Amino acid sequence: MREDSINFLRCPNCKGQFGLNINKQTGDEIMQGILKCQACGECFDIKDGHANLIFPRDLDKSTLSIENFYDQRPLYDYRPTAFRFGIWSIAFQGTSDRIKWANRLAIHEGASVLEIGVGNGGNLPFIADVIGEKGLIHGLDISSVCIKIARERMMHRNTPTELVHGNATYLPYKDDAFDAILCVGGINDFSDKKRALQEINRVAKAGAKIVIEDEGLAPDREKTLLGKYILMCMKVFENKPPVMDLPEAVEDLKIDWIYQRTFWVMEYRKRA
C-alpha cells in the first residue's frame, strides 16, 4: 500500500478519515500496518502490501460464496464456457477487448480511475497506458487472492496503483474521488445492486464516466435456439441492466449489447 493512498481511502463503515500505523515498509510500499478510522474507531489490517477493507466483517452468504469462488479460481477465464455456448465473437482477456474498455471510459492523461471487481488485473495495464505516470489507478475486489495477482501485474508499471480487498456495496473511498469508474463483470453477483450503484455514484466526480458490464441476454435473443440453450445452462444470463437501481443523479445513459447480444454494457455519467 502506498502511504499517499490514505488521501483517497475512507472507512467503509462511516466514511471517516483513517489514521495510519506502519509496522513494516519496503521502499514506498507499506507491507504491514493498521488503518484506524478517526471517527468510529474501526481498524483494518494491511498485510502483504494491501489493505483488507472488507465491511461488514461478516459477509452475507451470497457474497461469501463469490469470495470463495474467486479465491479458488483467481485466473478464471470465461472463454471455455463461451465457446461451449457458441458465442464465437467473444474475446475475453484479449488485448483488443481490454483496449475497448479503456476507450469507453473516455479517460485522459492524468486521470484518476477506479476499477471495481478488478480481478487479477487484466484491464489495469491498458488503463495505465492511457492515463500515464501522472494518473492514478485504484482497484477493489472481493478476492484477496486476485488482488495479490493484480498487484504483481502492476509491480513494474509507473502509474501509481492502489489495490484493496473490499466489498463493492461499502466502497472504502472518499466522495467525488474518481474521473472514471469501470466494473467489467461482477455486478450480477452483488448482494445489493442498488446500494452498490449508489456507492459508485458517491465516489465518482461530477461528470465522471461510469461503465458497467455483465452477463445478460438481449430481449430479442431470449427465444432463439442459442438463447434458450444459454438460459438452460446458466440462469445468470437472465439478468438485465439494473437501470431501475440507478441513482437519480445520472445522465447520458446508454445501453449496449455485445458478444452476439449475450452481455450488456451500461454507460452513463454522474450528473454535474
Which range in 69-78, 107-116, 184-193 is most confidently predicted, on average pLDDT? Answer: 107-116
Are residue 97 and residue 149 in the same domain, yes or no? yes
The model's confidence at residue 81, banded by pLDDT at 50, 70 and 90, is low
Are residue 145 and residue 212 in the same domain, yes or no? yes
Chain segment 20-57, per-residue pLDDT in tens: 999 999 988 999 999 999 999 999 999 999 999 999 98
Question: Which comes out higher in pLDDT, residue 235 or 246?
Answer: 246
Q: Residue 82's pLDDT is what?
A: 63
Residue written as cell 476499477? 115
Chain segment 51-69, per-residue pLDDT in tens: 999 999 899 998 999 899 8
Domain total for the chain? 2
What is the domain range of residue 151? 58-270
Are residue 6 and residue 65 in the same domain, yes or no? no
Q: Residue 272's pLDDT is what?
A: 87
Q: What is the CATH number of the domain that holds 156?
A: 3.40.50.150
Burial of 54 (0-12, 13-18, 19+ CB in 10 A): buried
Are residue 39 and residue 155 in the same domain, yes or no? no
